[in-house]
Amino acid sequence: MQNEQQRMMATLKIMNAVDEWGMSNAQIMALLDFPKELCRGRHLQKFRKDEPFPDHEQITARMVRLLGIIDALRTTYPRNLQMGPRWMNAPHRRMKQRSPVATMLEDGESGVIAVLSELDCAYAWELSGSARG
């Protein structure tokens, strides 16, 4: 994330997506996995309006992955914006019959990476080390 305005735009994009995915405030807080001293549940309303996510290394890493998921959903389903939220809440064989939302909540960071890898083959390719060489 570069500057405050870009961080704010990314924050809004993520908050809109998690709302579209039908996540509760408690689920959103679990997904964001912010250090407790930097964010509490009451901050969610501020993030939906006028406050960017805190500028912190752990938060930025999670933001980048979530933005990757959001962008991959947009490019996977460019003509039907309702398919992204539907895909995020449907059980998937490669996720042990769990939804991507459940996978991210239950598995934390590794779940977020698994969902991003499922949606973005370039990310999965890079993660595997196959891109090097």
The pTM (predicted TM-score) of the whole model is: 0.88
pLDDT of 13 above 60: yes
Percent of residues, the chain, with pLDDT higher than 70: 86
Does 82 map to a domain? yes
The domain tally of the chain equals: 1
Mean pLDDT of 30-46: 80
H or E element in which residue 19 lies = helix 4-20
Does 104 map to a domain? yes
Does 89 map to a domain? yes
Domain of residue 13, residue span: 4-128
Number of residues assigned to the chain: 133
pLDDT of 42 above 80: no
Does 26 map to a domain? yes
Give residue 81's pLDDT band: very low, low, confident or very high (50, 70, 90). Answer: confident
Does 60 map to a domain? yes
Does 133 map to a domain? no
Handedness of CA 41, 47, 50, 51 (dihedral sign): positive
